[in-house]
Amino acid sequence: MKNIKECSILSNGVKMPWLGFGTFKVPEGKVVEEAVKEALRLGYRHIDTAAIYKNEEGVGQAIKDSRVPREEIFLVSKVWNTDQGYESTLKAFETSLKKLQTDYLDLYLIHWPKALNKETWKALEELYKEGRVKAIGVSNFKLHNLEELLEDAEIIPMVNQVEFHPQFPQTEIMEICKKHNIQLEAWGPLMQGKIFEIPLMRELAEKYNKTISQIALRWDLQMGVVTIPKSITPERIKENMNIFDFEISKEDMDRIAQLNIGERVGPDPDHITF
Ligand SMILES: NC(=O)c1ccc[n+]([C@@H]2O[C@H](COP(=O)([O-])OP(=O)(O)OC[C@H]3O[C@@H](n4cnc5c(N)ncnc54)[C@H](OP(=O)(O)O)[C@@H]3O)[C@@H](O)[C@H]2O)c1
């Protein structure tokens, strides 16, 4: 992977940039507008939001203000848990589009697995067939959630966005995703800030003359995983995209693999209370 324009080709041929920009916990209004505008100005072309982030209006405004043509941007949103179900998902989709000031999404995801997954998935399939969304997928789906969905899904999800970082590399999920040609995507690639405390990451950053963040994000790319770091800090937004000019050796990839302790920084999808 040589530059930020490089894309994963999803199972339906749609191109998804390997590096995107996350917006979880970025406040609606000026903060999200400035962050997304800066990301687009620097060259990011993939923006990840969700209805529950309550910043879709700012994301939409930033895209408009950036003057980057809509078709050059890979825009992702997600249906929230309380909107799951066939009709309510269709409605939630329209609300997201309106807030984002667009008439289509590039990717729409089921945010968390819930009892109504199958009904929700039918709505996503419908939106996909109507051409309202270029690709559809899931998020936080464990092995059993995927297996259940696949039992009677007409369309196999194109993406599964899950917590993924060196301490939690989701080996089992990666395998099933590969088997079904589902692109794995990393949320929390910087462990929501905790990755900076890992000594090996510091050692590798020094060795490659890069930052810890750049090592972590480059590792995602070399693992074949789409990654969406979040930052509201302009220097960090820039830092996080400078990951295309070096390669982590096979030996160091193996050392990073040793960091797997099966520990999440976020909630276990089987035990969410929201
Ligand atoms: N599907 C889901 O359920 C789900 C869940 C969580 C997240 N996500 C998505 O994944 C995206 C990324 O995950 P995340 O936001 O949870 O966590 P993350 O990207 O792992 O970490 C974000 C944190 O790291 C800091 N940071 C970013 N770049 C840095 C750098 N170069 N040096 C030092 N600190 C840096 C940020 O600080 P500043 O912002 O202050 O610079 C922020 O505190 C989200 O924004 C969201 O779009 C999805």
Is the torsion defined by CA of 153, 91, 114, 167 positive or negative? Answer: positive
Strands 15-17 and 7-9: antiparallel
Expressed in angstroms and rounded, the spacing between residue 192 Cα and the centre of ligand 1 is 5
Mean pLDDT for 84-88 is: 98
* pLDDT tens digits for range 89-137: 999 999 999 999 999 999 999 999 999 999 999 999 999 999 999 999 9
Q: DSSP labels for 106-148?
A: EEEEE-S--TTHHHHHHHHHHHHHTTSEEEEEEES--HHHHHH
Structural domain contains residue 98 = yes
Check pocket membership of 120 for ligand 1, CB cut-off 6 A.
no
Domain that holds residue 130: 7-262
Structural domain contains residue 15 = yes
CA dist., res. 225 & res. 7, Å (int): 11
**Distance, C-alpha 243 to centroid of its chain:** 17
For 27-89, the three-class secondary structure string (H helix, E strand, C coil) is CCCHHHHHHHHHHHHHCCCEEECCHHHCCHHHHHHHHHHHCCCHHHCEEEEEECHHHCCHHHH
**pTM reported for the whole predicted model:** 0.98
The predicted pLDDT at position 12 comes to 98
Structural domain contains residue 22 = yes
At 175, the pLDDT band (50, 70, 90 cuts) reads very high
Structural domain contains residue 150 = yes
Q: Is the pLDDT of residue 2 over 90?
A: no
Q: Is the pLDDT of residue 1 over 90?
A: no
Check pocket membership of 230 for ligand 1, CB cut-off 6 A.
yes
Q: Look at the chain and report how many structural domains it folds into.
A: 1
Active site residue 44: no
Pair 198, 238: CB distance under 8 Å = no
The domain that holds 124 is classified in CATH as 3.20.20.100
Q: What is the mean pLDDT of the chain?
A: 98
The predicted pLDDT at position 188 comes to 98
The predicted pLDDT at position 260 comes to 98
Residue 247: Cβ within 10 Å count: 13
* pLDDT tens digits for range 27-80: 999 999 999 999 999 999 999 999 999 999 999 999 999 999 999 999 999 999
- The residue nearest atom 6 of ligand 1, judged by CA position, is 187
Q: What percent of the chain has pLDDT over 70?
A: 100
Check pocket membership of 48 for ligand 1, CB cut-off 6 A.
yes
